[in-house]
Amino acid sequence: MAQIEQPVFGFSRPHTCKAGAGSDKYRCRGTDCQQRTEKEPASFRPAARTDGSERTTRSGRMRLLVSNRPAATSKALAHYAAVDYSAAIGMNHFKHCTIVPGTIDSHCHLTVAADRGVPVAEVVSNCFESGMAAMLDIAIQADDLPQRRRMVGDDRRILFSAGVHPAQAADTTVEAAAASIRNAAGDPAIVAIGETGLDWYRGREHAAAQHALFEAQITLANELDLPLIVHNRHATEDIYTVLRQSPVHRGGIMHCYSAGPEWVASFVDLGFAISFAGNLTFPRSDALRAAAALVPPDSLLVETDAPFLAPVPARGRPNHPGYLGHTLCALAELRREPLEELAHRTRENFLTLFPRARSRLTTREAAE
């Protein structure tokens, strides 16, 4: 049981995290969210704008939100398209939010979340008001940094990476990708390279191009002295081979870890932290939980991978950093560690891995 003392999304009443109760062992049900949602003040509701149109979804008829942004990143994420978000449009994005003060979301895609209807500005400001320490917004495309920067303003608690996702391999050249990453890395808010890696989920048609992009970003991470964010989907062995042959001097993150418990030590030995996403809370994720129990304390991180993989009880909704607490609760439960300690540890692990992030956050605090 962990007592959360700080306001959670504006609710000052402390509440008890009952993660681990009953047979739903890994479900964090501890945030009183039903009760809190009923009392939710108007100011915490997303500023939903509607054109009055409706559509029928699995959840019935809903108003459509009008996005004022082009769905620029949607095409880039075609390989995630199997997920149907239509039912989620128009829902209350603040239900089930759980912020454990001091936490850092080590991996989110805020512009993609906005494309999926998440009111990102409100979510981000409520997360920080509730005590979240920082979030790392991850690149998908080579030249998406200005758009990402524009959307979230220049709060120093939002950190950025520069890189090209393996799903982009067919649409870019290594030269173009490298040039734009080098260019972006001049921005002091850039703390990491990626996300990069290998993804065999939809086959190996672009395997050579994915390999070339991955290796180019390893070279860049070493050249720019930055850690690397690694995406792995059904490609554990190949990724391990590449990283062993081409070590990343600053290490990095195996993001949204999925490789199974038997691989934990191998990636930790290569200098990589292991980051867990919302799928840690899914009923069938026993192998993932077994892996999470094995990760050495100083190699552990948490993330949302927003807008993907929202944790139980928000599963199926577009994910955002406000749901991070559920993954942290699940981790605390399965590792039998106090929630606050784990929040502190994952934050320190993040800041040790990303010294640039630590100095940005420290200067921000000093300026306040």
Residues in contact with Zn ion by the rule CB under 5 A: 138, 305
10 Å Cβ neighbour count for 328?
Answer: 25
Rounded to a whole number of angstroms, the minimum distance from the CB of residue 138 to Zn ion is: 5
Rounded to a whole number of angstroms, the minimum distance from the CB of residue 15 to Zn ion is: 30
Rounded to a whole number of angstroms, the minimum distance from the CB of residue 229 to Zn ion is: 8
Rounded to a whole number of angstroms, the minimum distance from the CB of residue 279 to Zn ion is: 13
Q: Which residue lies nearer to Zn ion by CB, 15 or 107?
A: 107
Distance CA 63, CA 59 (A): 11
Q: Which residue lies nearer to Zn ion by CB, 305 or 333?
A: 305
Residue with tokens 């690149």: 139
Dihedrals φ, ψ of 45, to 5°?
Answer: -80, 145
Paired tokens of 319: 């994910």
Q: Which residue lies nearer to Zn ion by CB, 29 or 165?
A: 165
Q: Which residue lies nearer to Zn ion by CB, 1 or 81?
A: 81
Paired tokens of 245: 């042959």
Q: Which residue lies nearer to Zn ion by CB, 231 or 360?
A: 231
Residue with tokens 């919302």: 278
Q: Which residue lies nearer to Zn ion by CB, 17 or 253?
A: 253
β-pair type (190-199, 158-162): parallel
Rounded to a whole number of angstroms, the minimum distance from the CB of residue 72 to Zn ion is: 16
Amino acid at 111: T
String of DSSP letters for 233-273: ES-HHHHHHHHHHS--TT-EEE-S--S-GGGHHHHHHTTEE
Distance CA 80, CA 109 (A): 13
Dihedrals φ, ψ of 136, to 5°?
Answer: -110, 115
CB of 321 closer than 8 Å to CB of 311: no
Rounded to a whole number of angstroms, the minimum distance from the CB of residue 20 to Zn ion is: 28
CB of 127 closer than 8 Å to CB of 136: no
Q: Which residue lies nearer to Zn ion by CB, 130 or 217?
A: 217
β-pair type (50-57, 15-17): unpaired
Rounded to a whole number of angstroms, the minimum distance from the CB of residue 218 to Zn ion is: 18
Distance CA 156, CA 239 (A): 32
